[in-house]
């Protein structure tokens, strides 16, 4: 399995020192446990794990303290199962693991750049140690949460039986975090508790029984470095509090093209106590109670719809006739993938949730960045990442 990076064109992936094979019978000299292969590995090696017969799990706690080791499924389209916790060191990658019970942990620490891709956690969590930079792409957490310090969480499906589906903890570095294209079912959807870090929270479909998105940051750097755009929040609980809540000391925030649908009354569908907003526009609310409460920023303009008729299907797509269809920001940088006007909610814009709903296993593009607007005299820079065998 390779990590591919694209900058304009495909580049070659990193080279590997050696491949170590794990197979339960030890066929042809293979290691019979993942831990045994780790003990024999060196930094930069790949460990390819064959699934056990009958879907059985490797009952162990694989711990990689080496750097840049890749722990990979050996069979395209299948996952190897582990009953236990997988712990990863600096620069390590795990692709195609299914943790039956236990966690996947980025234990690398400061700027670890650990990657967790195409994995499934049936009962457990994805977590990170202090100040780790963690990349979590295309994973499923069926009964648990994802909690990292900073990095990226994209294309994940999370069902949290309690607590918060995605949490970003206090950040002490001027670095960016990206939470894009996730489907979250939880009491609380997304929580960002940051200082000096920036975020892009976009195109997430959140099904919540309490709070959708909670942002609390004390960043003192000015400029529109915070983006919360094209999210859909569906609230079904009996004790709802906030669809979106922003407690922000001194940074500008772009919050636009959001769709909030509630079956019961929130305390507020959207509540803001902030000193600086770059934009609060084209947001929609369909539900009872107070829609928007803004304590220290200008009154919302007439682009925000506090009595929307929008409804959604089970996958978050808009039902025909919803006013959020072609109701988002009309600017060229917000156009939908078909180049029509932005649809408010998680399927609008170039980061549409539809980009992140393909198969969890096998080769695929994970994430791509391109300029929102183009000028004929400027070069076009496109970067992307993907996985392949």
pLDDT digits (tens, 9 = 90+) for 280-330: 889 999 988 877 776 555 555 789 998 999 999 999 999 999 999 999 999
Distance of CA 213 to the CA centre of its chain: 13
User: CB 35: neighbour CB atoms within 10 A?
Assistant: 17
State the pairing for strand pair 97-101/9-10.
unpaired
Q: How confident is the model at residue 134 (pLDDT cuts 50, 70, 90)?
A: very high
CA-closest candidate to residue 207, choices 310, 286, 314 = 314
Residue 383 and residue 326 in one domain? no
Residue 354 and residue 291 in one domain? yes
What pTM does this model have?
A: 0.89
CA-closest candidate to residue 104, choices 67, 66, 135, 150 = 135
First to last CA, the chain: 4
Residue 229 and residue 257 in one domain? yes
Residue 238 and residue 325 in one domain? yes
State the pairing for strand pair 146-148/86-88.
unpaired
Altogether, the residues listed in the chain come to a count of: 389
Residue 54 and residue 87 in one domain? yes
Whose tokens are 């792409």? That residue is 137
Rg over CA atoms, the chain: 21
The two most distant CA atoms of the chain are separated, in Å, by: 70
Mean pLDDT of 82-109: 96
Cα separation, 199 vs 203, whole angstroms: 13
Q: How confident is the model at residue 55 (pLDDT cuts 50, 70, 90)?
A: very high
Which residues lie across from 48 on neighbouring strands?
A: 21, 72
Q: Which residue has the higher pLDDT, 293 or 167?
A: 167
- Whether residue 70 contacts residue 388, with contact meaning beta carbons closer than 8 Å, is answered with no
Whose tokens are 């293979």? That residue is 30
Kind plus residue range of the DSSP H or E element containing 203: none
Cα separation, 147 vs 144, whole angstroms: 10
Residue 371 and residue 351 in one domain? no
Whose tokens are 């975020």? That residue is 199
pLDDT digits (tens, 9 = 90+) for 11-33: 344 454 899 999 999 999 999 99
User: CB 54: neighbour CB atoms within 10 A?
Assistant: 5
Residue 15 and residue 115 in one domain? yes
Residue 188 and residue 272 in one domain? yes
- Whether residue 58 contacts residue 80, with contact meaning beta carbons closer than 8 Å, is answered with yes
Residue 354 and residue 388 in one domain? no
Contacts of residue 111, Cβ cutoff 8 Å, sequence gap at least 6: 131, 132, 133
**Given phi > 0 = left and psi -120 to 50 = alpha, else beta, which region is 257?**
left
Distance of CA 17 to the CA centre of its chain: 31
Cα separation, 117 vs 103, whole angstroms: 14
Q: How confident is the model at residue 159 (pLDDT cuts 50, 70, 90)?
A: very high
Cα separation, 58 vs 214, whole angstroms: 38
Distance of CA 76 to the CA centre of its chain: 23
Residue 32 and residue 116 in one domain? yes
Residue 207 and residue 307 in one domain? yes
Structural domains in the chain (count): 2
Residue 279 and residue 214 in one domain? yes
Domain range for 133: 1-139+360-389
C-alpha distances out from residue 310 to 27, 316, 364, Å: 58, 11, 32
- Of the listed ranges 38-47, 84-93, 208-217, 343-352, the least confidently predicted one is 208-217
């Amino acid at each position: 399995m390779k990590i591919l990076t694209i900058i304009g064109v495909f580049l070659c992936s990193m080279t590997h020192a050696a491949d170590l094979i794990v197979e339960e019978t030890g066929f042809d000299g293979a290691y019979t446990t993942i831990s045994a292969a780790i003990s024999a590995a060196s930094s930069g090696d790949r460990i390819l794990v064959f699934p056990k017969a009958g879907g059985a799990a490797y009952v162990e706690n694989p711990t990689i303290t080496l750097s840049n080791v890749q722990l990979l499924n050996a069979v395209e389209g299948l996952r190897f199962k582990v009953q236990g916790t997988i712990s990863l060191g600096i620069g390590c990658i795990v692709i195609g693991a299914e943790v039956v019970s236990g966690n996947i942990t980025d234990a690398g620490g400061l700027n670890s750049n650990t990657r967790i891709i195409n994995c499934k956690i049936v009962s457990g969590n994805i977590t990170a140690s202090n100040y780790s930079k963690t990349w979590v792409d295309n994973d499923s957490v069926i009964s648990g949460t994802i909690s990292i310090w900073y990095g990226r969480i994209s294309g994940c499906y999370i069902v949290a039986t309690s607590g918060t589906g995605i949490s970003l903890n206090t950040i002490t570095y001027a670095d960016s975090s990206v939470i894009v294209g996730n489907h979250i079912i939880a009491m609380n959807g997304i929580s960002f508790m940051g200082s000096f870090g920036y975020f892009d929270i976009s195109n997430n479909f959140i099904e919540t029984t309490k709070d959708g998105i909670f942002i609390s940051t004390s960043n003192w750097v000015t400029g529109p470095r915070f983006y919360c755009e094209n999210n859909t929040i569906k609230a079904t609980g009996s004790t709802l509090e906030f669809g979106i809540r922003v407690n922000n000391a001194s940074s500008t925030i772009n919050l636009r093209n959001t769709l909030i649908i509630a079956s019961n009354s929130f305390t507020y569908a959207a509540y803001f106590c902030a000193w600086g907003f770059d934009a609060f526009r084209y947001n929609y609310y369909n539900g009872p109670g107070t829609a928007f409460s803004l304590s220290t920023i200008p009154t919302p303009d007439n682009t925000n719809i506090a009595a929307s008729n929008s409804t959604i299907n089970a996958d978050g797509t808009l039902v025909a006739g919803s006013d959020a269809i072609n109701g988002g920001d009309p600017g060229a940088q917000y156009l939908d993938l078909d180049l029509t006007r932005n649809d408010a909610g998680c399927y609008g814009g170039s980061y549409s949730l539809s980009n992140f709903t393909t198969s969890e296993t096998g080769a695929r593009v994970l994430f791509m960045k391109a300029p929102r607007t183009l000028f004929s005299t400027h070069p076009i820079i496109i970067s992307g990442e993907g996985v392949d065998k």
